[in-house]
Chains A and B, each alone.
Chain A
Amino acid sequence: MPLRIELTETKPGYHEMILAGQLDTETYEELDAQIDQLLQQELKAVRVDMSGLDYLSSMGLRVLLRLLKVLREHGALFLVAEVQPQILKVLEIAAALPSESIFASVEEADRYFDAIQKQVLEGD
């Protein structure tokens, strides 16, 4: 199955990405290209909905790690939601993401982002 990527900026700097299908040797370049586009925009957070992603290999993982690195360099958050068990297993084996980046639902991830934003605004 190919990879499907949907990217929407729902609030200033908050990007929602939907990944579905397979992120692997044959599709990773598509996500790489999307990351290049993201870099042209304001970045506070990227929330990835993985509910439709059913296959992830090490090539795909490398691109997700590139995204994580880019976001860290921008001081932005990387939030991942609704990860299927076989994908979670790959992320865990690779110790790829801190557990606080992984959320059971997109709503939970969005609430976390809103809470962090509120803290930032109150801190200003």
Chain B
Amino acid sequence: VSTGPTLELKVTSTPGEIGKAHRALIRFLEDLGVEAETVSAVALLVEEAVVNVFRYGFENEGVHVVHVTLEPHPTHVLLGFQDDGREFDPCSVPPPDLAVPCEDRPIGGLGIHLMRNLADRMEYRRTAGQNHLTLRVPRPGTT
């Protein structure tokens, strides 16, 4: 249960929206004194998670929405993502084979690999026709 401030963002699949979300979350986290390393990881995770939904979650080209929540804690930042795209569990995607030169690896999966490595917890559930993804980003000096 969070007792501190949270940020809720509605990110749509129109150009420029991820940049707008970035600016809002950077301002929010910096105002709370969250360290630059964590801010940078959060910004990247938000882009990766949202882009994944827009790329793989929908059949049609319409404007889609991902609801994002940020919940800073002393030891970590919790990120929540919710969308009504097709069911997709990023936790089920196998990790890439790092022994293969990066440029020869299949396209895709890179974003999820970054998510797995920057977050120390990644949880997915599907309820009431919605995807819910939670990522926990550790803050430095707290592990």
Q: Which of B44, B103, B104, B118 contacts A55 (CB 8 A)?
A: B44
DSSP class of B's interface residues: helix, strand, loop or mixed?
A: helix
Interface window among B12-20, B71-79, B85-93, B129-137: B12-20
B99 and chain A: residue at smallest CB distance: A95
Interface size on A, residues (CB 8 A): 22
The answer to whether A55 and B15 touch across the interface, beta carbons within 8 angstroms, is no
Interface window among A7-15, A58-66, A112-120: A58-66
Q: Which of B41, B110, B117, B118 contacts A61 (CB 8 A)?
A: B110
Give A6-62 interface residues, CB cut-off 8 Å to B: 24-26, 55, 57-59, 61-62
The answer to whether A25 and B47 touch across the interface, beta carbons within 8 angstroms, is yes
Give B26-44 interface residues, CB cut-off 8 Å to A: 36-37, 40-41, 43-44
Residues of B within 8 A of A68 (CB): 102-103
Expressed in whole angstroms, the minimum distance between the Cβ of A10 and any Cβ of chain B is 25
Number of A-B residue pairs with CB-CB distance less than 8 Å in the complex they form: 54
Expressed in whole angstroms, the minimum distance between the Cβ of A57 and any Cβ of chain B is 5
DSSP class of A's interface residues: helix, strand, loop or mixed?
A: helix
Q: Which of A25, A93, A97 contacts B18 (CB 8 A)?
A: A25
The answer to whether A95 and B19 touch across the interface, beta carbons within 8 angstroms, is no
Expressed in whole angstroms, the minimum distance between the Cβ of B104 and any Cβ of chain A is 8
The answer to whether B48 and A58 touch across the interface, beta carbons within 8 angstroms, is yes
Residues of A within 8 A of B111 (CB): 57-58
Tell me whether A96 is interfacial, beta carbon within 8 Å.
yes
**A86 and B43 alpha carbons, distance in the complex (Å):** 11
Q: Which residues of B are in contact with A by a Cβ distance under 8 Å?
A: 15-16, 18-19, 36-37, 40-41, 43-44, 47-48, 51, 98, 102-104, 107, 110-111, 113-114, 117-118
Q: Which residues of A are in contact with B by a Cβ distance under 8 Å?
A: 24-26, 55, 57-59, 61-62, 65-66, 68-69, 72, 85-86, 90, 93-97
Shortest beta-carbon contacts, A-B, top 4: A69-B103, A58-B111, A58-B110, A86-B40
